[in-house]
Amino acid sequence: MKTVREVMTSQPAAVTLLDNVYEVAVKMRDYDTGFIPVVDSEAGGKLIGVITDRDLVLRGYAEKHPGSSSVETVMSSKVVSIEESATVDEAAERMASEQIRRLPVTRGGKLIGVVSLGDLAVKQIFADEAGEALSEISQRQLH
Residue 44: per-residue pLDDT? 86
- Rounded Cα gap, residues 97 and 103, in angstroms: 12
pLDDT in tens, 44-72: 889 999 999 999 999 998 888 888 999 99
Residue 126: per-residue pLDDT? 47
pLDDT in tens, 79-90: 999 999 999 989
**Distance, C-alpha 25 to centroid of its chain:** 15
Answer yes or no: is pLDDT of 142 > 60: no
- Rounded Cα gap, residues 56 and 72, in angstroms: 11
Q: E strands of 1-143, at which residues?
A: 9-10, 15-16, 35-40, 46-52, 82-83, 102-107, 110-116
Provide the residue range defining the domain that includes 130.
4-142
Number of domains in the chain: 1
pLDDT band at residue 135 using 50, 70 and 90 as cut-offs: low
State the pTM of this model: 0.82
Burial 40-78 (b: 16+ CB within 10 A, else e): beeeebebbbbbbeebbeebbeeeebeeebebebbbeee
CATH of residue 39's domain is 3.10.580.10
Mean pLDDT of 129-134: 59
Beta-ladder partners of 62: none
- Rounded Cα gap, residues 120 and 89, in angstroms: 9
